[in-house]
Structure 1
Amino acid sequence: MSLCGVVLLCIVCIHQVRSSEEDITGYSGQSVILKSGADRSWNLTRIQWSIYQNTTFIAGFKNGEVVIYKFWTHQGRLELNIKTGDLTIRDVTVDDSMTYNVALVTSDGWRSQSKVHLTVRESLKTPDIKTTLHSLIDNKCYIALECITSGKNVNLSWTPDDEFDGSYISGTPNSADSSLVVFGSFSGNRNITFNCTASSGQQTMTRQMTVGCSDEKQKCEVCTACSSCTSSVMWAIVLTAAVLGVSYLCTKYKEKIIQACPEGPLNYIRNISNTSLGFCGFQEKQDTA
């Protein structure tokens, strides 16, 4: 074979077979689209997606029909686009991270083979915020908020709203990378909003919290404390008056109780129902004819 024939054969082979590789990243719970690499002008007559080094078919298109193979790893989550050859995987999980192979055939004999390396990461969750300090001193509000997140390699940041005109500083407690605290101070009885943003890769999630200090709240807390104190004092006064009243009665009518019941006050109390003296009235016993 001449040199020109070899070159022509190589050109034909390159024209007939095309291959490519692509790396993509997805996040758990979302949908990802695996690109087949097909040209828009192609009329695809056959599409074959497979995993595990071309030993397991998961989706295909042949003789005008779409076939979704019932393989357990992707069952019920695949959708094939017969125009582009792209494969959509819904509700991806970390277990979907692997290499996917696709083979294409066009109506005019073009062939294409591509690989898509899919990496699925855990989805970023919205951080939580809790208040650790909230105090009004000399008409100045002091607050401390802690932003907490889960997951690895997550960056946290605090930003106030545009109307904030006080001062704030943020830092990580105990060198932990899963939380971030912000300390802020501002004057006046008003509310301000702080935003905590968690970011990881291309994902960002933000949670807001509005805090403030109010004189009314402080007054209510004082009123509540005073009300509780007043209630206790009133009970103490009532009990003291009762004790003093009983002592006064016992002292005033001591002689009458002894005369009415010579055997002693205790026996008198035991047998009070048999006498004509009332415990509270202390009427003198009258002689009977």
Structure 2
Amino acid sequence: MRFFIFFFLTFQGVKVEEIQISGYIGDSVTLPSKADPSWVLSKVDWSIFTNNTWIATFDNGKINTDRRTEYKGRLTLDGTSGDLTISNLTQRDAMTYTVDLVNKNNVDKVNKIILTVKEHLQQPKITKIHFPATTDGCTFALKCSSPDDGVDFTWDVKPSCPHWSSSQTGASELVVLSSSSVNVNCTVRRKEEKKTTVWESSCNGPKESPKCVRGYGWVAAIVVFVVAVIVLCMKGKRKLFKLFM
């Protein structure tokens, strides 16, 4: 009977609202039914596929969320709001869901929820490119890479040292001039998510409390720049020169 109600409403051109929702693999996500808050629901049917295969139903106080084996134990249906929560998301859950709502006055409403399932941001990887030690300290170059698309890179050097960085798609490089060991953080961000990897230099410079080269002013800046040019040219990235021509 409910299928015929849905078919009739669709055939008659009743407006169906589409809602975009996203979640992450392994997390939970709630699909909103968009039921009118003033409604007292008598029936709620959540379905998938074009043949409206039911996965969760609410009928006069009775809830059934065990209609499909692939969702068994992962669905929670709210009989008051009509919202459906899916836990332990998998990539297979990414699809369009249809909810058919009927209130106590036998008024019907149909909405579609399009669920996108994403992977969480992964930890960035720091690799050493160049690390020459001198009697005054070290000048080192690092590369931070991420397997994820659309991320922004930021570096944090403690204590603060003369340094230079450059980012491109999927990676960022850093050159630091230091008189002793320093801690370096590489952080990748994508919208609300961020992940940080920490790297500590093992500089064999002067045996004193960690500090950076100071007091050299423009000389230190030139040294950092020159080392950056050398490192990147070693990797075939001569385009750096063009930036300063």
TM-score normalised according to structure 2 size: 0.69
Residue 73 of structure 1 aligns to a residue whose secondary structure is: helix
Does residue 1:35 correspond to 2:32, yes or no?
Answer: yes
Residue 177 of structure 2 aligns with an amino acid whose one-letter code is S
Aligned with 2:186 (options 183, 195, 198): 195
Q: CA deviation at 1:67?
A: 0.2
CA 1:192–1:206: 2 relative to 1, 3 Å: closer
Does residue 1:205 correspond to 2:179, yes or no?
Answer: no
Q: For 1:178 and 1:109, locate their aligned partners in 2 and report how far apart those are by CA, in whole Å.
A: 54
Residue 153 of structure 2 aligns with an amino acid whose one-letter code is S
Residue 189 of structure 1 aligns to a residue whose secondary structure is: coil
Q: CA deviation at 1:120?
A: 1.5
Kindly provide the CA deviation profile for residues 231-263 of structure 1, in whole angstroms up to 9, marking residues without a partner as x: xxxxxxxxxxxxxxxxxxxxxxxxxxxxxxxxx
Provide the residue aligned with 1:182 in structure 2. 174
| Runs of 5+ unmatched residues, structure 1 | 1-16, 218-289
CA 1:158–1:137: 2 relative to 1, 3 Å: farther
Q: CA deviation at 1:171?
A: 4.3
The equivalences for 1:162-241 within 5 A come to: 163-172=159-168, 177-186=169-178, 188-199=179-190, 202-211=192-201, 213-215=203-205
Q: For 2:51 and 2:63, locate their aligned partners in 1 and report how far apart those are by CA, in whole Å.
A: 18
Provide the residue aligned with 1:136 in structure 2. 133
C-alpha RMSD of the superposition: 2.7
Provide the residue aligned with 1:62 in structure 2. 59
CA 1:216–1:37: 2 relative to 1, 3 Å: same
Greater helix content: 1
Q: Determine what percentage of the aligned residue pairs are the same residue.
A: 30
Does residue 1:157 correspond to 2:153, yes or no?
Answer: yes
CA 1:142–1:162: 2 relative to 1, 3 Å: closer
Q: CA deviation at 1:31?
A: 1.6
Q: CA deviation at 1:115?
A: 0.4
Check conservation: 1:133, 1:144, Cα contact below 8 A: yes
The higher radius of gyration belongs to: 1
TM-score normalised according to structure 1 size: 0.59
After the TM superposition, which parts of structure 1 deviate over 4 Å for at least 4 consecutive aligned residues? none
Q: For 1:125 and 1:100, locate their aligned partners in 2 and report how far apart those are by CA, in whole Å.
A: 29
Provide the residue aligned with 1:106 in structure 2. 103
Q: For 2:198 and 2:150, locate their aligned partners in 1 and report how far apart those are by CA, in whole Å.
A: 18
